């Protein structure tokens, strides 16, 4: 499985959480931290963002469907 990076804009769009709020959540340990991919660029790891979303949906009792690239031991294939 190839890893994919997401920009902060892509993460904000995917999660419906504003970039400023995401920064605060990362600082408080409530959201996966980005990684530095160049001296002036950070990115989020798609698998970690998808896992975080999966966990939020599971907490809410909602069925989850993750993209094929992110399926792992935490996702049942029956959904």
Per-10-residue mean pLDDT, the chain, length 79? 90 97 97 96 97 92 63 37
Domains in the chain (CATH in brackets) are 5-65 (1.10.1660)
pTM recorded for the entire structure: 0.75
Cα–Cα dist 25/1, whole Å: 27
21-28: which pairs have CB atoms within 8 A and are 24 or more residues apart? none
Residues 79, 65: Cα–Cα separation, whole Å:
6
């Amino acid at each position: 499985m190839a890893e994919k990076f997401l920009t902060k804009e892509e993460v904000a769009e995917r999660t419906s959480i504003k970039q400023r709020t995401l920064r605060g959540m990362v600082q408080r340990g409530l959201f996966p931290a980005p990684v530095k991919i160049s001296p002036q660029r950070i990115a989020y790891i798609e698998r970690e963002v998808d896992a975080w979303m999966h966990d939020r949906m599971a907490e809410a009792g909602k069925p989850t469907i993750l993209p094929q690239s992110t399926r792992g031991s935490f996702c049942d294939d029956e959904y």
